[in-house]
Structure 1
Amino acid sequence: MTYSKLIKELKVDATTYKYYDLQALNDPRYEKLPISIRYLLEAAIRYCDEFHVRTADVETILNWEKTQHEQAEIPFKPARVLLQDFTGVPAVVDLAAMRDAVKTLGDDPSKINPVCPVDLVIDHSVQVDNYGNLEALAKNQTIEFERNKERFNFLKWGQKAFKNLLIVPPGSGIVHQVNLEYLARTVCADEENVLFPDSVVGTDSHTTMIDGLGVLGWGVGGIEAEAVMLGQPISMVIPEVIGYKLVGKMPQFATSTDLVLTITKNLRDLGVVGKFVEFFGPGVANLSIADRATVANMCPEYGATVGFFPVDERTIQYLAQTGRDDHQLSRIRDYLKANNLFVDYADASFSPSFTKVLELDLSTVTPCVSGPKRPHDQVALTALNQEFKQNLTEKVSFKGFGLKPEDSTKAVKLTLNGEEHTLKHGSVVISAITSCTNTSNPSVMLGAGLVAKKAVELGLKVPPYVKTSLSPGSGVVTKYLEASGLLPDLEKLGYFIAGYGCMTCIGNSGPLDETVGKAIDENDLVVAAVLSGNRNFEGRIHAQVRANYLASPMLVVVYGLAGRVDIDLDTEPIGNGTNGPVYFRDIWPTHDEIAIVEEKYVRPQFFKETYASIQTGSEQWQQLVCPETSLYPWDAASTYIKKAPFFDGMELAPKDPEPIKGAYALLNVGDSVTTDHISPAGSISRVSPAARYLSSRGVAPKDFNTYGARRGNDEVMARGTFANIRLVNKLASKVGPKTLHVPSGEELDIYDAADRYRSEGNQVIILAGKEYGCGSSRDWAAKGPLLQGVRAVIAQSFERIHRSNLIGMGIVPLQFLNNDNADSLGLTGKEQFTIDLPATLKPGDHVTVQVSTGKTFQVLCRFDTEVELTYFRHGGILTYMIRKLIGTK
């Protein structure tokens, strides 16, 4: 090994470990590096073999102060990979199909096997079908197994067939909370007792939550994750690091959710896409690990790669509280201190070099929410009432709903449970305590319980048109809510536990009451959801709910009680209790009240009890029977699991990529087109191409399930690509999943138009605005367009993960230059496009686009590294990996 001279011994208790001593480099640059960059450096030194990782890469990282501005490329091998089931199923399908491909090519299929530890948590499948009663949890879990039996069987097969694959069964909790409380190692030890910092890449954007625990982690596309599983390093551009200095203490009435929504807005305003954010300063010492994890979780919403909190003594205390043993704690502390990776936030002298520094005084944080359509659109609590009313009649935008003034006061009477109620614009129809962001944080969960307790004592009730649910991120939450006596109060208001999973936050909110849904549709009402989640993009939470606000669990309960978002919480009562009007101030707990309950009832034994049998799973999981074979026996009748088509007809040697000639624009879209728009995860519309396919296979509409649950079937997913009902496409006459088939002038479902272009022998591209592919990291947002025949996307800018996913599937990401876009260049999307992709293409090259009108323009080819170009030339990362593993290039 190149850096073997740095290997030292470290004795912890009776065990002798080895580690790479970074301080023995005797390089003054090391002490100036941000801690997150030191983690990258350690991995580069440990893996340096002059092949995957070279001495020059180590020098690039050490020279970070200079190279951060040079788009310098480095390799990074994370310690492990984290999956959830929506992204995990297609990853395991790909691995199974790769085994078949290797066998077809005449080699050993067992070469396809994770070499990097993989943890997969099944958390995305449970839906809020039942709610508001004690039977909701059991019923929802039963339905979850009925709907997803094939998928769960397949995953159980995968755990047996592949080495290094751990599956956490359904009903255990949310992937990021389970990672925080159980899976995270903080410091790892390999088979030879070599210690190194824990790091992780995950196929879910909010993998960043683990950065709150001092584990370097971020989201990657499923395609990139599969390459890491098979031993490939991630190729990345060494990032700039924004130092975010926190000072002061949080005020009595603000929550960690208010803090993260404030930070999200500040960092969005600065612009941190592709950058690391590292937190430091004395204010960090005042934040619990749960608070830090809340801030780190929302990292994708402020656009950074990571939001990192280095390990301090408080981290060790959290690890002890969550059941990690004494030896592990000593090992973590001793190793990190030996490498100068352990921090004391109160130490004013600790201030590494950062690209830029922001500062926030925690005492200035005030209660707020975010919405109604994007997580970084912060709204002060005091302003929501007026802003929502103004939004109703503003033109359609990220804030406006485009109603005529005469329609903005519409209200409709409806009878529920024998009582008459009024439904109007701004009525809250979903009130959900949900999502890893907040359910991992005892302070806001117990705070919600205290709000409920005060409300119950004063005689308040939640209106029956509000769909209430509570989906804890792990069983620990239930234990401390029960121990504190607060769960019954939440239940009295309708917040019964509906399941252990993402649920409403991922869009698995289930159907609204039929009477409520009918009133919304018939009167075109802009109703609201208030949820403690991290995403509120249009069409994500529920198809009938247009205004979605992210809020703390405590505010979720407050707005659930009020039944509307257009309420002035300062002056208007939330409702009438036993003794008259009850106001916000009457039911809102202070920090000190919450802290007393938290200290008493969040006990280490709850974590030990919860995780002791986590891998066993429920009786339903244990009863699943799966095949005992190394190659998966594909079932032609299955509408859930189908052999991936990406390796069909694959040859040992790659062919040169085909030129793009005379391509039509399948879509012409604007800014902030999310992966929810490109590849929806929610329910399958009964009038969609996917529905027609499922019906042709004998699937009844009630059994369609969601796009997310059917990610193991490419036929469904190709038809579900761009199927979001809120997609705004300039080639369509109205909002929705339609486009113009240019040669015929017909307006068709997008899949049908793509299918017709393909049958006519025509290629297609996509024109897009800024932040194309923002939102959740979905591999199908790249796989689906590939199967629709998309060869390239020309956008003003790309979200980081989505760009790498496009490359991973062999789609060319091109970027307009000089703030140009389709409109400024006079493009309607009805032209044909020829794109010159020379064989000599290099990272950062400009290429020429010729338009059938005679116009030409230059674009930046967003292959940022040589490795990305290599993947493209092989037709994608997975085909490259197969060729590499069977010894051909």
Structure 2
Amino acid sequence: MLEQDAVRSFYRAYPNRVARIRQRLGRPLTLAEKILYAHLDDASSQPIARGSSFLLLRPDRVAMQDATAQMAILQFVSSGRTRVAVPTTVHCDHLIVGRAGAKEDLDVALRENREVYEFLANAAKKYGMGFWKPGSGIIHQVVLENYAFPGGLMIGTDSHTPNAGGMGMFASGVGGADAVDVMVGMPWELLCPKLVGVHLTGRLNGWTSGKDLILKMLEKLTCAGGTNKVIEYFGPGVASISLTGRGTVTNMGAELGATTSLFPCDERTLNYLRATRRADVADEAEGVLNDLQSDPEVAAWPEKFYDECLEIDLDRLEPMLVGPHSPDLAHPVSRMKDDVEREGYPDEIKVGLIGSCTNSSYEDIGRAAHLARQAVAKGLRCRVPLLITPGSDQVYSTLERDGQLEDLKKIGASILANACGPCIGQWKREGVPPEDEKYNKANVIVTSFNRNFRGRNDGFKSTLAFIGSPEMVVALALSGRLSFNPLTDTIPVAGGEPVKLDPPQAADLPPDGFVFDDRGFQAPARDGSQVRLDIAPSSDRLQLLDPFPAWDGRDLLGARVLLKARGKCTTDHISPAGKWLRFRGHLDRISDNLFLGATNAFTGETGLGTNLRTGAKGQTFASIARDYRANGIAWVAVGDVNYGEGSSREHAALEPRFLGGRAVIARSFARIHETNLKKQGVLALTFADPADYEKVREDDRVDIAGLTAFAPGMPLTLRLHHADGSVEECPLAHSYNAEQIGWFKAGSALNIMRAQADGPVGAKPASAKARPATRPEPALRPKAGKSAAKATRRKTRPTSGKRSASPATGGTSARTARRKTVKETGKKPVRRMKTDRKRK
């Protein structure tokens, strides 16, 4: 599956690339610098300045999961390319709902999502992508087992793509727009990250695991502490962490906001490669091992080479739980009893959940099974439901052979399909009426997942979700109490002695080897030119995209404030998953979930606001936005700190754009979401003074001045026209470079890519049937003869039967960064792409 020749060529060239960068910078290099700068599009002259310059990079791979791949592929069609330019895979893991068990759930998913799965499978055939069928595993576990390699550079349309950093691969989550750029052969643009060095001493032991290390990191740095930074782990403590344990750490580096996290390549890395049928990759990596680690001087004097340095003694690390509602709210288990009493958390646990891309490896579930064997021997069973999702077919088959799944079933566990499942709200929770969406009884669940935002795991805002290691989840499920400390407490047994659990133990690799299972893999077709992509106009799952309109050349005047979000506003809050996942390929339908999880700063309500045109209160933000759009009213949203943290889903940027949003103004942004907004033509701006957030009132009219002179480093001005007649001005900062300003002016990044195929932006069509690449911002009003109410929902263009997918241009994915490279290096620009479609 892994392209062996390409990997071999990479390792042949890698040492020389690193040497050139070392010579250019004139100093020793960290591991992150070696990998990142070795992938520069032009290593000789591209500016390298941490925290300020934008790098143009050449990734080795792209990975996409089924919920985000739909929009990415719809956008890729518009490029006119007949095959992806770099190895790309699609993984079906997000759309499977946990209900009754692995087989039953997979059967239901195949029926319910047939249209989407066929679209993705056919697109993979047509464009030369690898395709992993539903049930074959969670994207990041499958990538770790088959595609990740030390020193490589990968981007993925999922925020937990950094999971491969445990392998020593620079792997970063992106929106679909960035993925499409790379798929068509353009560079990936990334703000040159700052570096955080984490020196590990001591050893993991007893109840501690890689999960506890990353939870400790979240306690130290918080969910915003890693933004635009790479976290690099080094030191003697690294050797005590298994390869998949390292993957857990780098996976949840996404919760720090980090661009990625990295571990050095060592014996554990090579052993895992050989155990997963990649001995040739291990041999190649071993030959360049010194360049798959930081230079010795870095380890000796880290403060000279990292922007920040941390020290963690693994001997002193203790098991942790984090929550509720944020993965940086940490509780050492030794203090959990006191925290439960002080905070008033319910002590009774309702459900335990193990799995997700973070903790579903052979070792993870093996440690949980070790506790299960102890429990069975001493007459214990889980006091609450325990649900387990293995990470892949390979993990599932190996655990089944070795008996761990049976051990877990004996204490009452249920095994679900190899998928994301409950982590993203894709399960039918027992004990709660499925129709009761307003269930508001405070209750506790414990998981080994990665995020615990309010409502994420089960859709209920009243659920308090706590995150820990898989073994901690089993211990808590056996006791039934959140305050239980397995290091000191015992579990009562009816008619017997109380049980004290021994620390969990498990092999990181199966003694008898993995059961290799690739039945779910569809290899890229050699020639996909005859494959058609058909989308029914009546579909509510897939919808072709129209271009977003270009900027009208004027400052924004008189816009309404649709939402002022108070507190945490993640992409889960902006565009919830759960039941909405089925509409990820249909922009109109999924836009109805806009801001459903956001807290209204003016009313304290969740997901509801006031329509200032009609005066109606308690309306969903989507319905208000549709009404504003139908009546030609532009709007902005206002965010708090770290706005858009969490998932990489670009729908959180596409939906505001589609419903008429013009800008998001926040105290600060999460990296991926800020880029996604820019790609879609939505202004991503920050208050120069974060305190100015408090000046925004619900009934303000908003101007954004300075757009006619929009330039890198030049502030804009927010003008607030209050209802009492007073006016306040606030300076706005931004991080736009010249290319990104071009995206805004064109209407989206994808519009620029389309223009490369169709002609100059805004050019007149060559025939009456041809559409221009972009069009000026129209008056947002209903079509003649239609009521405003009917016009608020965009209809799919009528046509008979099915039609082949034409260019999908809802705004995403173009690159003008090449122009900068041309200017600085004198290289010729990329040849304009031709499209293989018929012009409409």
Q: What do you get for the CA RMSD once the two structures are aligned?
A: 3.0
**1:486 aligned residue:** 404
**Residue pairs, 1:504-523, within 5 angstroms:** 504-514=422-432
Q: Deviations over 1:48-76 (max 9, x none)?
A: 3xxxxx7430xx33xxxxx326x122212
Match for 2:25 among 20, 24, 29?
A: 29
Match for 2:470 among 553, 557, 561?
A: 553
Structure-2 change in CA distance of 1:498 and 1:26 (3 Å): closer
- CA distance in 2 between partners of 1:848 and 1:787 (Å): 24
Structure-2 change in CA distance of 1:462 and 1:287 (3 Å): closer
Q: Deviations over 1:67-99 (max 9, x none)?
A: 326x12221221111111111112112234x26
* Aligned amino acid, residue 309 of structure 1: F
> 1:798 offset after TM fit, Å?
0.5
The answer to whether residue 220 in structure 2 is matched with residue 266 in structure 1 is yes
Match for 2:263 among 293, 301, 309?
A: 309
**Residue 663 of structure 1: SS of its match in structure 2?**
strand
C-alpha contact 1:460 1:577 (8 A) present in aligned 2? no
Structure-2 change in CA distance of 1:11 and 1:198 (3 Å): closer
Match for 1:780 among 651, 661, 686?
A: 651
Q: Deviations over 1:532-553 (max 9, x none)?
A: 1001000101123520011111
**Residue pairs, 1:285-304, within 5 angstroms:** 285-304=239-258
C-alpha contact 1:282 1:345 (8 A) present in aligned 2? no
**Residue 172 of structure 2: SS of its match in structure 1?**
strand
The answer to whether residue 727 in structure 2 is matched with residue 815 in structure 1 is no
Match for 2:565 among 656, 666, 669?
A: 669
**1:615 aligned residue:** 521
Match for 1:714 among 562, 573, 587?
A: 587
Query: What's the TM-score once normalised by structure 2's chain length?
Result: 0.83
Q: How many residues align?
A: 747
Q: Identify the range of structure 1 (776-785 vs 15-24) with the bigger mean alpha-carbon deviation.
A: 15-24
> 1:493 offset after TM fit, Å?
2.0
C-alpha contact 2:134 2:520 (8 A) present in aligned 1? no
* Aligned amino acid, residue 503 of structure 2: P
Match for 2:352 among 417, 421, 431?
A: 431
**Residue 358 of structure 2: SS of its match in structure 1?**
helix
C-alpha contact 2:177 2:676 (8 A) present in aligned 1? yes
- CA distance in 2 between partners of 1:461 and 1:239 (Å): 48
C-alpha contact 1:807 1:868 (8 A) present in aligned 2? yes
**2:709 aligned residue:** 840
Q: Deviations over 1:272-291 (max 9, x none)?
A: 31111111111112222112
**1:759 aligned residue:** 630
**Residue pairs, 1:74-223, within 5 angstroms:** 74-96=55-77, 98=78, 110-111=80-81, 113-130=83-100, 136-163=101-128, 165-186=129-150, 197-223=151-177
C-alpha contact 1:245 1:360 (8 A) present in aligned 2? yes
**Residue 576 of structure 1: SS of its match in structure 2?**
coil
**Residue 331 of structure 2: SS of its match in structure 1?**
strand
Q: Deviations over 1:187-222 (max 9, x none)?
A: xxxxxxxxxx42111111110111110111111112
**Structure 1 unpaired stretches of 5+:** 1-8, 49-53, 62-66, 100-109, 131-135, 187-196, 393-400, 402-424, 683-705
> 1:473 offset after TM fit, Å?
0.5
> 1:298 offset after TM fit, Å?
0.6
Match for 2:417 among 499, 518, 536?
A: 499
Structure-2 change in CA distance of 1:288 and 1:568 (3 Å): closer
The percent identity for this pair of structures is 28
C-alpha contact 2:389 2:420 (8 A) present in aligned 1? yes
C-alpha contact 2:14 2:38 (8 A) present in aligned 1? no
- CA distance in 2 between partners of 1:562 and 1:10 (Å): 51
The answer to whether residue 7 in structure 2 is matched with residue 43 in structure 1 is no
Q: Deviations over 1:612-640 (max 9, x none)?
A: x34159xxxx9xxxx98555332012111
**2:766 aligned residue:** none
Match for 1:746 among 584, 604, 616?
A: 616
Q: Identify the range of structure 1 (262-271 vs 143-152) with the bigger mean alpha-carbon deviation.
A: 262-271
Structure-2 change in CA distance of 1:346 and 1:354 (3 Å): closer
Structure-2 change in CA distance of 1:118 and 1:468 (3 Å): same
> 1:433 offset after TM fit, Å?
0.8
**2:482 aligned residue:** 565
The answer to whether residue 323 in structure 2 is matched with residue 359 in structure 1 is no
The answer to whether residue 743 in structure 2 is matched with residue 871 in structure 1 is yes
The answer to whether residue 282 in structure 2 is matched with residue 329 in structure 1 is yes
Q: Identify the range of structure 1 (18-27 vs 287-296) with the bigger mean alpha-carbon deviation.
A: 18-27
The answer to whether residue 550 in structure 2 is matched with residue 635 in structure 1 is no
* Aligned amino acid, residue 656 of structure 2: P
Query: What's the TM-score once normalised by structure 1's chain length?
Result: 0.79
- CA distance in 2 between partners of 1:485 and 1:55 (Å): 55
Match for 1:451 among 371, 375, 379?
A: 371
* Aligned amino acid, residue 176 of structure 1: H
* Aligned amino acid, residue 184 of structure 1: A
- CA distance in 2 between partners of 1:521 and 1:579 (Å): 42
Structure-2 change in CA distance of 1:11 and 1:142 (3 Å): closer
Match for 2:675 among 789, 797, 804?
A: 804
**2:50 aligned residue:** 68
- CA distance in 1 between partners of 2:288 and 2:616 (Å): 65
**Residue 185 of structure 2: SS of its match in structure 1?**
coil
- CA distance in 2 between partners of 1:838 and 1:710 (Å): 34
Q: Identify the range of structure 1 (869-878 vs 777-786) with the bigger mean alpha-carbon deviation.
A: 869-878
**2:340 aligned residue:** 388
- CA distance in 1 between partners of 2:18 and 2:207 (Å): 44
C-alpha contact 1:382 1:569 (8 A) present in aligned 2? no
Structure-2 change in CA distance of 1:741 and 1:25 (3 Å): closer
**Residue 814 of structure 1: SS of its match in structure 2?**
strand
C-alpha contact 1:284 1:345 (8 A) present in aligned 2? no
C-alpha contact 2:425 2:459 (8 A) present in aligned 1? no
> 1:261 offset after TM fit, Å?
0.8
- CA distance in 2 between partners of 1:448 and 1:777 (Å): 30
> 1:17 offset after TM fit, Å?
7.5
**Residue 723 of structure 1: SS of its match in structure 2?**
coil
C-alpha contact 1:262 1:378 (8 A) present in aligned 2? yes
**Residue 354 of structure 1: SS of its match in structure 2?**
coil
* Aligned amino acid, residue 354 of structure 1: Y
**Residue 63 of structure 2: SS of its match in structure 1?**
strand
**1:604 aligned residue:** 513
The answer to whether residue 722 in structure 2 is matched with residue 850 in structure 1 is no
> 1:516 offset after TM fit, Å?
10
- CA distance in 2 between partners of 1:570 and 1:184 (Å): 36
- CA distance in 1 between partners of 2:147 and 2:184 (Å): 20
- CA distance in 1 between partners of 2:434 and 2:373 (Å): 28
- CA distance in 1 between partners of 2:199 and 2:498 (Å): 42
* Aligned amino acid, residue 142 of structure 2: V
> 1:805 offset after TM fit, Å?
0.4
> 1:477 offset after TM fit, Å?
2.5
Structure-2 change in CA distance of 1:885 and 1:264 (3 Å): farther
- CA distance in 2 between partners of 1:668 and 1:112 (Å): 43
**Residue 211 of structure 1: SS of its match in structure 2?**
helix
- CA distance in 2 between partners of 1:26 and 1:735 (Å): 54
C-alpha contact 2:365 2:404 (8 A) present in aligned 1? no
**Residue pairs, 1:365-376, within 5 angstroms:** 365-376=317-328
**1:133 aligned residue:** none
* Aligned amino acid, residue 144 of structure 2: L
**Residue 610 of structure 2: SS of its match in structure 1?**
strand
* Aligned amino acid, residue 794 of structure 1: I
Q: Deviations over 1:459-515 (max 9, x none)?
A: 12223xx33211000123334433443322200222232100111111113232357
- CA distance in 2 between partners of 1:24 and 1:753 (Å): 56
**Residue 437 of structure 1: SS of its match in structure 2?**
coil
**Residue 680 of structure 1: SS of its match in structure 2?**
coil
The answer to whether residue 237 in structure 2 is matched with residue 237 in structure 1 is no
* Aligned amino acid, residue 96 of structure 2: V
C-alpha contact 2:721 2:727 (8 A) present in aligned 1? yes
* Aligned amino acid, residue 328 of structure 1: V
**1:692 aligned residue:** none
